[in-house]
Amino acid sequence: MSAMRNVGVGGAVLAAVALAGCSSDEYPDGSTMASLADAGAVTVGIKYDQPLFGELDDAGVPQGFDVEVARMIAAELGIDEDGITWVEAVSGEREEMLSGGDADFIVATYTMSSERKEVVGFAGPYYVAGQSLLTRTDDASVASVTDLADKQVCSVDGSTAARTVEQLAPEANLVLFDDYGACLDALLAGQVDVLTTDDVILAGYAAEADGALRLVGGNFTSEPYGIGVALADDEFRLWINDVLEEAIDDGRWKDAWDSTAGAVLPDPQQPHLDRY
Ligand code: GLU
């Protein structure tokens, strides 16, 4: 829903307001959309250490597909880069950040699991990933999730990936950190044997490792990425679904992909929104 399309024929005054930035007039009174558009400011949770999806570049500017999706949603509210406050949303803190109001929404490789849907709301999915394994290229001892017994397997606290290791490879020695960057360092230093999480996160690390790391084991879960919002805010959740649907239809979603993760990863399947 762009500002202009909702103005209607003859809405010259409204059009002028819309051109100057989004007016809260186009949103229901008291809605999150109205209050964010009015404030011209939004706080967005992203990852800081995941190339391709959410990473800070050398100048401290966020880059990646998640970041572009977040910018698209903010733009619909008439909020540009100056109005966005980016905050780091590590995996284990996302639910608390949303319920505590520390972020207005979170776009951070965030799987729409049924457990999490009890605690937060999700718009999406805007992408579907799958869990995989990353090892050092010179280590031939791990080829699949069935090879993890007695291995040092690193993942992140509060992630679906850690939970899946507990279920599929209970004999593995699970090593948990707060973020994937710490796991990556441990893998490169030989302190752990495997880093496991979504394939697209691992692909970003592999692409930057000059051949030292490789993905193995294929995908053994499905991880539909959603945009997290506060649990009770169905209105905002459903509005974000509308924004996503329009962006998928008019090509902005694909453009966002092509300019970020698409540099390394194959074209994604068009996602089907889960408007629960
Ligand atoms: N998508 C999974 C999750 O939401 C793993 C990636 C992550 O930790 O962000 O838990």
Nearest 10 degrees: CA dihedral of 48, 50, 51, 57?
A: 10
CA separation, residue 187 to residues 33, 135, 161 (Å): 42, 7, 16
The residues of the chain scoring below 50 in pLDDT are: 1-20
Instruction: Give the pLDDT confidence score for residue 244 in this predicted structure.
Output: 98
Instruction: Give the pLDDT confidence score for residue 16 in this predicted structure.
Output: 45
| From 159, 163, 201, 222, mutation site for ligand 1 pocket: most ligand atoms within 8 A of C-beta | 159
Domains located in the chain, CATH noted: 6-128+225-263 (3.40.190.10), 131-216 (3.40.190.10)
DSSP code string of 143-200: -SGGG-TT-EEEEETT-HHHHHHHHH-TTSEEEEESSHHHHHHHHHTTS-SEEEEEHH
What's the pLDDT tens digit per position in 34-78? 999 999 999 999 999 999 999 999 999 999 999 999 999 999 999
What's the pLDDT tens digit per position in 180-197? 999 999 999 999 999 999
Q: Are 110 and 185 in contact (CB under 8 A)?
A: no
Q: Which atom of ligand 1 is nearest to the CA of 131?
A: 5
Instruction: Give the pLDDT confidence score for residue 10 in this predicted structure.
Output: 45
CA of 147 to the centre of ligand 1 (A): 22
CA of 77 to the centre of ligand 1 (A): 27
